[in-house]
Structure 1
């Protein structure tokens, strides 16, 4: 487990701290004084840091016991440096483990709190997580060993299982009523600028005007029908406009390779297709049908003539 690995690492580091002069022995008086000064300063730092107890450690008897040993060690002479080192090391190890365990407790509390807010949580699991929250909160004032036991005591039915097993499957679903006003406003916002820029587009303006009328109406049926009609129109328009743009691009590629009078006729057809962009969907469709077979002009003069006639109808 991640926590256990971190705890082992802390303990190993702590043992290394106890090594003085490589063998756990003080070589001379000067070295003894320096070492004593260093560990005394470290103990004083602990005292100043935790003189006012952390909120989560105020009622923690184990924390208080370890902290009191620090206060006692501060009054020891330099000849009791070994005890000072042990006290500093023991407190540091204890406190690091405490902090790591409390971080894990906070994480578990957050999960339990989120699950408690879910309406379809199984009743048995709701009770389990409620009890778990009480245990986790209470563990802040308990020993590190108790913290570890609580963290490593999952509920077999509510933890470490598939998520869907702790929730009640919905028996029925009630669809929310459609909010036509919201949908219409989205469309109006989308087309604040008309398709293809600011050019006059009467057919589009007529269709979208119905939505303006619908948004001011109290009749939901009118809103629904107006929205459905515009969406259908807009879908067809977009498909036809894309096809027109593609056809125009084909003609633009073809025109440089043609000679008059065919070249002139193709240019005229291309302009007609461009104007069709702002016509009704029916006229867009007619333009596409009329120019569908105009692939090359050299051998299709008759077809080209017929296509031009169709566009003028």
Structure 2
């Protein structure tokens, strides 16, 4: 079981042509949906309102095999929204109207929890951020902790203020996924690979930086790798990073690398396995980009895409990333 903690919102997406559509969203909720569609057992601790947007979210989560923990409705408080505007490349920017207070928090974690994932607004917006911090501290050493800062500058204040909090949360995690845009905002002008290595030294077993069309970069105790992104026709990038996180956690689950009993194996992760993980996550993310909104693929759709690649005689390494040598290989465990 993977437990996800964080916000569920409705994305109001306005295209470059002025067309507006509403899609279920919220970074943690997107991760939970991605996991559910990929076949990972997943539950979500979140909040939304008793309104049409809340009904949309509840139906969306149920349809994607996500179990919602407790009673998520917030009385008269409306469901949060994110105004997303896309440009000619499909890239999105956001403005939020949201409150976050995941109370009452659970008395104890569900039995069989192998991983706790959280990130984005849920980790920084009070009063809920304090609850999330307590949950992370309780989970530390009891399961695999996963974190994605997914920075929202309009809600997080100045980079220096956000940086202190985000570094603390990253140090509590075993797996960290962060985008190059996040790191550019937090550390202007600095090299993202250096930052990822610094974060790794603070505690995580794995730090991954997504770089959009430029692919992804991952660093673990035995080395670091660069993985190219699959080439697809992009509708928009809404939810692409969350789909990557879902693909990464699902791949870790399928390789039996989640859970406190597997912590030492995760720490011994080798560059070849890391490359495999990044390739799996990149494919899930790419398939999300080909359709509007945060609409990640199912396991069947991912498998169908793989079969099409093989049936067309395409070298899978050209899609999932060639087996490049680690940039700084220190050993070959994994």
TM-score band w.r.t. shorter chain = under 0.3
Structure number with the bigger relative contact order (C-alpha 8 A, sep ≥ 6) is 2
**Higher alpha-carbon Rg:** 1
Q: TM-score, with normalisation over the residues of structure 1?
A: 0.20
Q: TM-score, with normalisation over the residues of structure 2?
A: 0.19
Query: Hey, which of these two has a bigger chunk of helix by percent?
Result: 1
